[in-house]
Amino acid sequence: MHHASDGARRLVTGTDFVTQPVKDYEAAAKFYGETLGLQFSKRWGDMPAGEFETGSLTIALMEPDAFGMEPGRSTNAIALHVENVEAARAELERKGVKFKGETIDSGVCLQAIFEDVDGNTLILHNRYAPEPKRPD
């Protein structure tokens, strides 16, 4: 795999946002804002779309058909970083969120898988093992 050298200008320097397809923007916004406690940052004008902040990635909820796109759910999971997976899971379970199976311990991280109101997969995630050293 080719890595850009430190002296070269990188074309991509970060990830600004990811879109999350939803059937009903208002219902989804309530889930992301109230249930998950993410900070609302921007509505896309009068369109059924808006942005919520995780701290490192903006999740843009949008009704795809309002933008001429096919409706449906995302095939990608979004792993949300939490300091304590079990405590976060318990808090969301108290709010009525149903998890898919037990919390997974991969040997380097904990993951608890659930869905938003539209069936998009979300994961509570915490990596407890140190990141491996990248060869330079």
17-127 belongs to CATH 3.10.180.10: yes
Q: What is the pLDDT of residues 83-116, one digit of tens each?
A: 999 999 999 999 999 999 999 999 999 999 999 9
Where along the chain do its domains lie? 17-127
Low-confidence ranges of the chain (pLDDT < 50): none
Are β-strands 49-53 and 39-43 bridged in parallel, bridged antiparallel, or unpaired?
Answer: antiparallel
pLDDT value for 7: 61
DSSP bridge pairs for 62: 21, 49
pLDDT value for 130: 87
Q: What amino acid is encoded at 130 in this protein?
A: P
Label the pairing between strands 109-115 and 104-105.
Answer: antiparallel
* Count of C-beta atoms within a 10 Å radius of residue 112: 25
- Is residue 111 within 8 A of residue 124, CB to CB? The reply is yes
Other CB atoms within 10 Å distance of the CB of residue 36: 20
Whether the Cβ atoms of residue 52 and residue 38 lie closer than 8 Å to each other: yes
